[in-house]
Amino acid sequence: MVYNENAMTKISTRKVLSIQSHVVHGYVGNKAATFPLQYQGWDVDALNTVQFSNHPGYGHFTGFQYDAGHLCEILEQGLTKSLEVPYDAVLMGYLPDVESLRKIGEAVSGLCEKDPHLRWVLDPVLGDNGKLYVSAENVEAYKQILRNNKVHLVTPNQFEMETLTGVTIKDLESLKLSIERFQILYPKVDKIVVTSLELKDNYICACCDRGKIQYALVPRINAHFSGTGDLFSALLLNTLVPPTGQTPPTLAEALSIVLSLVDLILQRTLEYSLSKNDTLPVTINDLKLIQCRDLLIGKHQKEEPDTQIRLINLN
């Protein structure tokens, strides 16, 4: 808690441990999550799993990854044992190797056992567009984590959902089957959001909360962005875990808010990135998060009240 002398009230500061990649230049991984969360009132402890000059989408990069021993020493010996930081949530993203994934998974599981109110948001980063970005061993490691732990929210993309369930998603019916299969395989997972679904001519995001499956048609923007998934998971965490005393929204409500906000951020990023000679579609390497800070605190909602994306029931 921090004291605000002007308001003469106590303000609750939420604390999150964000375990993701890091780039010196650009906005992916922890760089895509930290500023948006801090700007919305979170105290962010960023545990970086890799240190790269920039993300690989540029076509070239330098850097290194931290080994499992170093990551676990910082988390277990430093943050939790010595400092005893009282986290409200853990946001877990890219881990480059299976040993780090297993050990960090075990460490976060231990934190959740000690504090049942801790919210674990897990983005199972495996790959995209039909291709694994990590070792095949990571697939089984994620399956084990999801089977054995109470995860508050998991956010796979279409390829990751297909990989974790064994169900190919080609239409709404197979999407429903995949989500139902996920619930059977990983019953301890509380909430599911499936991102980046391309079904025929539609771009879709789906969610499941307590057996209720819903989906939203997401506006298409004629560009390719990097870091969108990392930003999305952070904003979803912020919406689902509000400050003390506030009632959290339903998953469907949170998803509607976040999809609408991400859409506005991507539109502004495209606007700031295009030059006169560009022809769509374009590849945009970095989100314009600093230029979107007014959107992060909801100023757009007063001006554009009807921009929220709506969800449709699937079952």
Question: What is the average pLDDT value for the chain, to the nearest integer?
Answer: 92
Could you tell me what percent of the chain has a pLDDT over 90? 85
Angle at the Cα of 193 from the Cα atoms of 121 and 309, rounded to 5 degrees: 120
Please give the pLDDT value at position 315: 87
* Residue 2 pLDDT > 60: no
Q: What is the mean pLDDT of residues 233-239?
A: 98
Are the beta carbons of 121 and 92 closer than 8 angstroms?
yes
At 244, list the tokens.
């003390």
Q: What is the DSSP string of 148-166?
A: HS--SEE--BHHHHHHHH-
Question: Which residues are bridge partners to 91 per DSSP?
Answer: 18, 121
**Residue 245: φ, ψ to 5°:** 100, -15
Strand-pair category, 282-284 with 223-225 = parallel
281, with CB counted inside 10 A (0-12, 13-18, 19+), is exposed
What pLDDT, in 10s, does the model give residues 18-37?
Answer: 999 999 999 999 999 999 99
Alpha helices (runs of H) in the chain, residue ranges in sequence order: 30-39, 68-72, 98-114, 137-148, 158-165, 172-185, 228-240, 251-273, 293-296, 299-303
- Any idea how long the chain is? 315
pLDDT band for 307, please (50, 70, 90 cuts): low
Largest Cα–Cα separation, the chain: 56
CA 71 to chain centre: 20
Q: How confident is the model at residue 306 (pLDDT cuts 50, 70, 90)?
A: low
Average pLDDT over residues 278-296: 94
Measured CA to CA, the distance from residue 91 to residue 123 in angstroms comes to: 8
pTM higher than 0.85 = yes
Q: Compare 202 and 3 and report the one with higher pLDDT.
A: 202
pLDDT at position 305 over 50: no
Gap between the Cα atoms of 14 and 241, Å rounded: 9
Whole-angstrom distance, CA of residue 50 vs CA of residue 72: 14
Q: Is the pLDDT of residue 45 over 80?
A: yes
Helices 172-185 + 158-165 axis angle, to 10: 50
Is the CATH code 3.40.1190.20 the one for domain 8-313? yes
pLDDT of residue 303: 47
Model confidence at 230: pLDDT above 70: yes
Model confidence over 96-115: pLDDT tens digits?
999 999 999 999 999 999 99
Q: How far is CA 248 from CA 14, 243, 252, 253, in A?
A: 14, 9, 11, 9
Helix (H, G, I), strand (E, B) or coil at 315: coil
